[in-house]
Chains A and B, each alone.
Chain A
Amino acid sequence: MKLIAPLGIYGLWLRDVKRFLRTPSQIVGSLVFPLMFLVFLGFGFSGAAIPGLPEGIDYLQYLVPGIMGFTMLLGASFAGLAILSDQDVGFLKEILVAPVSRTSIVLGRIAGGSTTAIVQAVLVFLLSIPLGFEIAGWLSIPLAAIFLALIAITFVGFGIALASQFSDSEGFSLIVQFIIFPLFFLSGAIYPIEGLPVAVQYLALANPLTYGVDGLRAALVGSSSFPLLVDFVALVISSVVMVALGAYLFERVEAV
């Protein structure tokens, strides 16, 4: 078996995309949470003096990239859940018995999960425009796309790695709640991490989402805490690590 099976990866991706498009309720459902945060926080704190907020940046401008990052986390957790629900309904066996390497299976699932997560983040972005969000310039779009892809790969990889350690979807869903929110709050998504206690700031610096949100903010708003290159390199590293970890752990998943 070749390590990389392009047709198999494509097949896995296509399946995820089809399933996503066929369940509009899930698409809408996945947007409810991020939009609530966007609307309530955006308007609630609009004009508030938030410590560390960059000069001349409206809070909504600051918030949108953060909420997009949050949306990606939710999308990634769905990808992890998808593996477990495949296991629940028995479909995972059909995948594992095919002449396709486990690495290719992980890559296919990351491709599918990333695509659907990115679509959700883009929808949040589009819905933020009528709320008053303004992008910095036309270069913003391709740059933001790169960062979205890197965030997606990192966290979908993480979701798969985590899912491989669970045997049922219920346990996973429960744990995910305890992981998503700390990652979200410790990423500078809704307030600058500079305002946090120093010890907590270190935690934030170890969180890949911090660089993801910062990179998105640099791309879309033109303001960031770190140089763009730092964000980029940090995310490339986290992507590679998470893909490798996902492949390593998934390799050890017992099929039966």
Chain B
Amino acid sequence: MSQPTNAIAVEGLTKRFGETTAIEDLSFTVEGGELFGLLGPNGAGKSTLINILCTLLGPTEGTARVNGHDVTSETGAVRDSLGIVFQEPAIDEELTGAENLAFHARMYGTRKAEREQRIPEVLDLVELAEVADDPVESYSGGMQRRLEIGRGLMHEPEVLFLDEPTTGLDARTRRDTWEYIERLNEESGVSIVITTHYMDEADFLCERVAVMDQGEVVAIDSPAELKASLGGDVLALGLTDGREELFERLEAQPWVREYTATEDGVAVTMAQGEQRVADLVRLADDAGATIESVDLQKPSLAKVFLSLTGSTITEREAGDREEDHAEATDSDPATDRPTEAAGATEATEAPEAVE
């Protein structure tokens, strides 16, 4: 399904909820068939972006297109082109798996003949054929997620949104879900946009990642390129003496990209650190330094995030929660996702994205 149109094209997109700016001047594109990740802490604006792209919220400024259709003026076409799995479960637990799919198909105007063909297909695809006629409340968390993913694919959308698809799943189910999503993207060719605050998830799954922080995209590239931008692996040596001599020797090595003195030794940046451990230890010996510890740090998306934003994702989330809490008390204490929801009550004047 590699069409000439981009799966998603966002330009200058801004969303404000009253005083708060949830996303600011976003621009990026996702190509057809791509497995694309929006990575960032909770509160970075990922869910707001997804809600705009699936027409549940209207943008304050800028444009967004899904499969070439504008989210404000071509709502119907946008909704037809996309499938979505929300962060929170959105299934009717009293209905069976097959009934949930049938309900969805009717809402998307799928006629009976096509429904009867499509439902078993989707159930096979998500490996739920055997429990098709059991009520969803008897499904495990992973099964429910699979049903939702299958449902998102029922009407054969061009783009599938997965909003935090593995939050709340155990490690084993997460792994299975990842593999599942990857296979789906390869086999059906559907473009997949996933939001996540798990670095490992983005690293494992996504061909390209947009790193989001406080409503902005701070970097956008493949996980490998993003990690390479850190300059390589870091070998940290704990030393007791002979530092200066070692520094002189490091200067002379072509494979050393950079080195910095640390509190208890030195941190050396290089490519393929695991192959250089022996060299570095030998250098330290020659310099008469006493090595107390060796630590090889491979670049990770977590480090990328840290170098781009100056804080770790956990620090960001902790900070945001405090802010959110302060906002929530003067607006709407009933909501548990204040960044998005607290503003929503004030957002009635924003252009509406219905019909």
Contacts and interface: CB of A to CB of B under 8 A. Distances in A.
A56 to B, nearest CB: 48
Contact of B89 (A15, A23, A90, A251): A90
Interface string B41-67: 000000100010011110000000000
Given A99-B79, A99-B80, A90 B109 contact: no
Interface string B67-98: 00000000110011000101011111111000
A139 interface: no
A256 B103 contact: no
A11 B106 contact: yes
A91 interface: yes
A23 B92 CA distance: 14
Contact of A19 (B86, B95, B335, B355): B95
Interface residues of B, number: 42
A102 B107 contact: no
Given A7-B106, A91-B92, A256-B57, A99 B354 contact: no
B56 A93 contact: yes
Interface residues of A, number: 34
Nearest to A9: B106
A7 B155 CA distance: 14
A55 interface: no
A90 B335 CA distance: 13
Given A90-B89, A97-B84, A102-B355, A254 B347 contact: yes
A10 interface: yes
Interface of B: 47, 51, 54-57, 75-76, 79-80, 84, 86, 88-95, 99, 102-104, 106-111, 151, 332, 334-335, 340-341, 344-345, 347-348, 354-355
Task: Please provide the 8 A-B residue pairs with the shortest distance between their CB atoms, ordered closest to farther.
Answer: A11-B106, A1-B76, A98-B107, A99-B79, A255-B56, A90-B90, A94-B90, A90-B88
Contacts of B91: 91, 94
Interface of A: 1, 5, 7-8, 10-12, 14-15, 18-19, 22-23, 89-102, 167-168, 251-252, 254-256
A99 B56 contact: no
Contacts, number: 96
A190 B24 CA distance: 60
A91 B108 CA distance: 15
B109 A19 contact: no
16 contacts: A1-B76, A5-B109, A8-B106, A15-B103, A18-B94, A18-B95, A22-B94, A90-B90, A91-B91, A94-B90, A97-B55, A98-B108, A168-B334, A255-B57, A256-B47, A256-B56
A254 B345 contact: yes
B93 to A, nearest CB: 7
A246 to B, nearest CB: 15
A96 B106 CA distance: 14
B334 A167 contact: yes
Contacts of B75: 1, 99
